[in-house]
Amino acid sequence: MSAAQSLMPVAISPHRIPLGTRPAYVHLKVADLGREITFYQHVLGFELNWQTDDRAGLGVSSRDLVRLTQIPNGKRYRGVTGLYHFAVLFPNRRELARAIARLFALGWPNYPTDHVMTKTTYLDDPEGNTIELYCESPEDGVFLLRDGELIAQWADGRPSNGREPLDLQSLFSHLKPEDNLTGTVPMETRIGHFHLYVADLMATRNFYHEQLGFDDMGIAQRFQMGMVSVGGYHHHIGYNTWQGVGAPPSPPDALGLFYIAFALDAPDEYQAFESLLVRQSIPFERWSEGIFLRDPSQNGVLFIDPTVSTSVNVF
């Protein structure tokens, strides 16, 4: 993370989560595995890393960004907690421009938006899972939560609502004649953050910040949204109550979020994190790939054991 991408947290936990912790992938429950694979390969440019009868992993350079599990008789529910969107981070404006140009070339609906310190577009996959594609642009200004308010401002002092239309002409000027709109995403592409629907802002903040050790990046009460991160990044987890305060968790047959996954850098950090959970009596399950737990809204979170070689058999 560059200094330009690091912000001053509202609060740092006394047991701060290791600074090398990073978003790894999102795991989705889907109704039609084949259709979803086609989308992530041909619309987003992900590589198909592996596939079984009802599961698949897609991403870049054998590193999964999205995992899919087909479930029988799955349904979409409204008014429940779960995934608002997951965000794919591109290394620069040129690669984001290539991704958005690809969407336009395919006629895939998307909504380019300028968040000042990031440039982005939003789209849905064929089953309604919302995806953000973005790159960092901290030199343009700031977009953060402070003292209960959302603050967005351009570098020259002009105010912004943080959700202005993206200047596509300027973005597309970064494209080169040799850029291939049908190729795979660059190997530097990764998951930038997750954004969750939750039932209660303070309970969510306390879980991720007070208990797990993420930095508290602020809560905007009037906007009904909060953010936490690792190491002062603007956010690795956003959360909101836009499905309603007290929204129930998604039922087991719900399509959409299975869990979000984070990777820790070193075995000693992973062991210390597990010990922290034990000391605080936080319920968790030991999966073959790592530690699985649920936040207060029952959203699943996996912390990957760095000593485990992941495969299709780890779920």
**Residues pairing with 52 in the sheet:** none
User: What is the reported pLDDT for 146?
Assistant: 78
**Can you read off the two tokens belonging to residue 136?**
């960092």
CA distance between the termini of the chain: 30
Query: Are residues 17 and 230 in contact, defined by beta-carbon separation less than 8 angstroms?
Result: yes
**Can you read off the two tokens belonging to residue 277?**
């959970």
How many beta carbons lie within 10 A of that of residue 108, not counting itself?
Answer: 16
Query: Rounded distance, CA 219 to CA 212, Å?
Result: 17
User: What is the reported pLDDT for 6?
Assistant: 59
The CA–CA distances, whole Å, from 28 to 70, 80, 87, 128, 186 equal 9, 16, 14, 11, 23
User: What is the reported pLDDT for 310?
Assistant: 57
* 26-64 residues labelled b (16+ CB within 10 A) or e (exposed): bbbbbbebeebbebbeebbbbbebeeeeebbbbbbeebb
User: What is the reported pLDDT for 136?
Assistant: 97
Prediction pTM value: 0.95
Per-residue confidence in pLDDT tens, the chain, 315 aa: 443 455 789 999 999 999 999 999 999 999 999 999 999 999 999 999 999 999 999 999 889 999 999 999 999 999 999 999 999 999 999 999 999 999 999 999 999 999 999 999 999 999 999 999 999 999 999 988 877 888 899 999 999 999 999 999 999 999 999 999 999 999 999 999 999 999 999 999 999 999 999 999 999 998 999 999 999 999 999 999 999 999 999 999 999 999 999 999 999 999 999 999 999 999 999 999 999 999 999 999 999 999 986 544 433
Query: Are residues 88 and 194 in contact, defined by beta-carbon separation less than 8 angstroms?
Result: no
**Residue from 193, 184, 283, 263 nearest 235 by CA:** 193
The C-alpha angle 101, 102, 105, rounded to 5 degrees, equals: 85
User: What is the reported pLDDT for 150?
Assistant: 85
User: What is the reported pLDDT for 3?
Assistant: 38
| CB contact set of 23 (below 8 Å; sequence gap of 6+) | 190, 191, 192, 193, 194, 236, 260, 261, 262, 263
Query: Rounded distance, CA 302 to CA 185, Å?
Result: 25
User: What is the reported pLDDT for 149?
Assistant: 84
User: What is the reported pLDDT for 148?
Assistant: 81
Look up the CATH superfamily of 3-304. Answer: 2,3-Dihydroxybiphenyl 1,2-Dioxygenase, domain 1 (3.10.180.10)
Query: Rounded distance, CA 110 to CA 258, Å?
Result: 24
- Residue reference for tokens 């309970």: 203
Query: Are residues 119 and 135 in contact, defined by beta-carbon separation less than 8 angstroms?
Result: yes
Domain boundaries, the chain: 3-304
Task: Reduce the DSSP state of residue 204 to 3 states and report it.
Answer: helix
